[in-house]
Amino acid sequence: MNMRRYQIVFLGMLIFSFGAGAQYEAYKAPFEQTMNVVYAERDGVGLVMDVFVPKAGTAPAIFKPGESGKGAAIVDIASGGWSSDRGKIEDHKIFKMYDVFCCRGYTVFAVRPGSDSKFTGLEMLDNVNSAIRYIKEHAKQYGFDPERLGLTGASAGGHLACLAAVKAEDGDPKAKDVLRRHGTRVKAVGVFFPPTDFLNWGDGKEAPFDKARGLFYPCGDLASHSKEEINEMARALSPIYFVKENLPPFLIFHGTADPLVPLQQSESMVAALKEKGNSAELIIKKGGGHPWLTITEEIVVLADWFDKHLAAGGAPQG
């Protein structure tokens, strides 16, 4: 954990322990957590997720407890800097993501898609798709409707969520592999400060390929590839270039003071989605960084939005 991340997480813990007053007093977590559920295997490596199943508990009124999410589920892509160590799930726990969703009745799957030290971005995308298929196949076991599935993530997790949504794959009803019978389309996508365009990083700047080199090629090998090849891969990993009609609705949150991912990345993505006739909304957090300490407030907003878009009924997702 780098120093900046440590400071943010530590301050977040202080806010929820002391600084936010009575609304964040100690309470019984509204979920049962199962760790390291294997959803796929790749190159001899088991890919895992944590499952948060709602249960009776208590929660601050600001979280709006209830049953609005009963029978629905959220897939949370737990990745930061395209690394998916357990610390990413712990970060989301600290900022109460699972509390907010579970206290409304949502089942949450915190998917770890692998890290760029082992997998490229396109391989991580395949891992996310494998997770979505696994989750749909096991919907009955966990007690939710596979047609009522939302997708979320922050930063790199938001990037992979957007990429999975715009490149969603259809299922094959005749596939021998039962997981392949499920498509990867979801019903709604809500993400935080996602990179969406590696070819245009805003203000004429180039994306920080040196910091995400493992995302492009195995072992971060950029030196043996031409500029044209690198740009081709950058495009393949940029959700904005795969926006089309009939995508699920999107909600994106981004701060004006984000030091890592320019606000332009979310602005451009929302504009591209709307241009193709899709439903898309951007909520801008004034002074918000990467993340911001009061991000739980926006998670509650996201939960409200999922309540609307994951309600029972609607077109099948495949």
The reply to whether 317 falls in a domain is no
- Domain assignment of residue 51, given as a range: 3-309
240 vs 18, residue with greater confidence? 240
Q: What is the pLDDT of residues 171-218, one digit of tens each?
A: 999 999 999 999 999 999 999 999 999 999 987 777 766 666 678 877
Question: How far apart (Å, rounded) are the C-alpha atoms in residues 104 and 68?
Answer: 6
As a whole number, the mean pLDDT across the chain is 89
Looking at the 3D structure of the chain, how many domains does it have?
A: 1
pLDDT of 5 above 60: no
Domain CATH for 142: 3.40.50.1820
**Percentage, residues of the chain above pLDDT 70:** 87
Q: Give residue 256's identity as a one-letter amino acid code.
A: T
- What's the burial of 67, exposed, middle or buried (CB within 10 Å: 0-12/13-18/19+)? exposed
pLDDT of 285 above 50: yes
Q: Which residue has 């701060």 as its token pair?
A: 255
pTM of the shown model: 0.91
The reply to whether 206 falls in a domain is yes
pLDDT band at 222 (very low <50, low <70, confident <90, very high): confident
The reply to whether 315 falls in a domain is no
17-52 exposure pattern, b = at least 16 Cβ within 10 A, e = fewer:
eeebeeebeeeebbbeeeeebebbebeeeebbbbbb
pLDDT band at 156 (very low <50, low <70, confident <90, very high): very high
The reply to whether 18 falls in a domain is yes
pLDDT of 62 above 50: yes
Looking at residues 256-276, what average pLDDT do you find? 97
pLDDT of 59 above 60: yes
Question: How far apart (Å, rounded) are the C-alpha atoms in residues 78 and 128?
Answer: 10
Instruction: Name which of 116-120, 141-145, 157-161, 210-214 the model is least confident about.
Output: 210-214
The reply to whether 316 falls in a domain is no
The reply to whether 318 falls in a domain is no
pLDDT band at 226 (very low <50, low <70, confident <90, very high): confident
pLDDT for 181: 95
Instruction: Name 107's bridge partners.
Output: 73
182-217 exposure pattern, b = at least 16 Cβ within 10 A, e = fewer:
bbbbbbbbbbbbbbbbbebbeeeeebebeebbbbbb
**Structural tokens at position 156:** 């790199």
The reply to whether 150 falls in a domain is yes
Question: How far apart (Å, rounded) are the C-alpha atoms in residues 242 and 317?
Answer: 18
The reply to whether 50 falls in a domain is yes
Question: How far apart (Å, rounded) are the C-alpha atoms in residues 66 and 163?
Answer: 31
294 vs 26, residue with greater confidence? 294
138 vs 58, residue with greater confidence? 138
